[in-house]
A = this chain, B = another copy of it.
Amino acid sequence: MSGHDSIHDISLDARRAYLMSCLNITVASRAVIKEYGKSGFTVSKKSDRSVVTAVDTAVETALREAILKEFPTHGIKGEEFPAHNCDADFQWIIDPIDGTEQFIAGIPTFGTIISLYYKNEPLAGLIDHPALDVTTYAGAGLGIYCNGARLEQPCSGRQQKERNVRIATAKRENFMRWSDDSAVFDAIVRGYPSFWVFDNCYSHTAVLSGAADAMVDYNVRFWDVSPLKVLVEEAGGVFQCLRRAERTDGAVSYSVVFGVPEVVRELAAIYEEYMAKKRDT
């Protein structure tokens, strides 16, 4: 999630082409999701107790095929299968269905998450909600778009002046994974009692559209948050990684905050205050 300015190696025209490829690739994921939508599917438990459906794996297979057909030399990291071509400069990060629990339950806010990194810097990012027909995407230096229309700095905090601040947060259970940071959640909702919990990437979309001012996502995997830096920065907001932690099972989990700069600053301060207290005890 860091890097020097290698992104400038890639021309604006080339970046536009990569961003359009992100959109093109979601045609593949949408087709598979639609196909399974009505026909039903099997559900299994993964080793980390989360659920996976036949749709998750079918969608990731379709995404990988679509990516490698267009970019045979690129690398891919995804939720459901081992990483492919880890040493390539271009890396696609994909989460075929974020919000599998909701997808199974018929809640339409689940989404597909795609990003493209070049030498560890985000080049393009996309969040697609097939059941809502809402796709939000951005390229480095290209701005942010939703369903074909350019958005005017939705995370700059302008909307916020018209109403009370409202945020989105991960559910309290996220803050209790691997170690008990539930006090962070409790402090957040004491400070921001008006909040939404969608429990999937619709929270991200809500911030990127300006409907919510910021979000705290907690103890999630890289593919859950991989497009956020470019999306949020192109939206006029800030993205901050609060913590990158190796879990007891060896995987790395991320805790992040993003959105309107002022609100992100306040939420990050709540987290830092908690961490300072934790160190003192």
* Residues on A facing B (Cβ under 8 Å): 51, 101-102, 105-108, 132, 163, 166, 171-173, 175-176, 182, 185-186, 189-190, 193-199, 206, 209-212
Contact of A197 among B51, B106, B108, B195 (CB under 8 A): B195
Other A-B pairs beyond A172-B189, A196-B198, 13, CB < 8 Å = A51-B163, A102-B211, A105-B206, A105-B210, A105-B211, A106-B209, A107-B206, A108-B132, A132-B132, A171-B196, A172-B190, A186-B186, A198-B198
Contact status B211-A193, CB under 8 Å: no
Contact status A211-B106, CB under 8 Å: yes
Interfacial chain B residues near A171, Cβ < 8 Å: 193-196
How far apart sit A195 and B186, CA to CA, in the bound complex (Å)?
14
> Smallest Cβ distance from A99 to chain B, in angstroms?
11
How far apart sit A132 and B109, CA to CA, in the bound complex (Å)?
10
Interfacial chain B residues near A198, Cβ < 8 Å: 196, 198
How far apart sit A102 and B166, CA to CA, in the bound complex (Å)?
11
Which residue of B has the minimal Cβ distance to A211? B105
Contact status A209-B172, CB under 8 Å: no
How far apart sit A105 and B199, CA to CA, in the bound complex (Å)?
19
How far apart sit A163 and B198, CA to CA, in the bound complex (Å)?
18
How far apart sit A173 and B166, CA to CA, in the bound complex (Å)?
10
Contact status A176-B193, CB under 8 Å: yes
> Smallest Cβ distance from A132 to chain B, in angstroms?
6
> Smallest Cβ distance from A136 to chain B, in angstroms?
11
8 A-B pairs with least C-beta separation: A105-B211, A172-B193, A173-B193, A197-B197, A173-B194, A172-B189, A196-B197, A107-B211
> Smallest Cβ distance from A186 to chain B, in angstroms?
7
The answer to whether A209 and B173 touch (CB under 8 A), given A196-B198, A197-B197, is: no
How far apart sit A21 and B163, CA to CA, in the bound complex (Å)?
37
How far apart sit A189 and B187, CA to CA, in the bound complex (Å)?
13
Interfacial chain B residues near A206, Cβ < 8 Å: 105, 107
Which residue of B has the minimal Cβ distance to A202? B107
Interfacial chain B residues near A195, Cβ < 8 Å: 171-172, 197
> Smallest Cβ distance from A125 to chain B, in angstroms?
20
A-B contact pairs, 14 of them (CB 8 A): A51-B163, A102-B211, A105-B210, A105-B211, A106-B209, A106-B211, A107-B206, A108-B108, A108-B132, A132-B132, A173-B193, A176-B193, A182-B193, A185-B189
> Smallest Cβ distance from A255 to chain B, in angstroms?
16
How far apart sit A246 and B178, CA to CA, in the bound complex (Å)?
44
Interfacial chain B residues near A51, Cβ < 8 Å: 163
> Smallest Cβ distance from A217 to chain B, in angstroms?
15
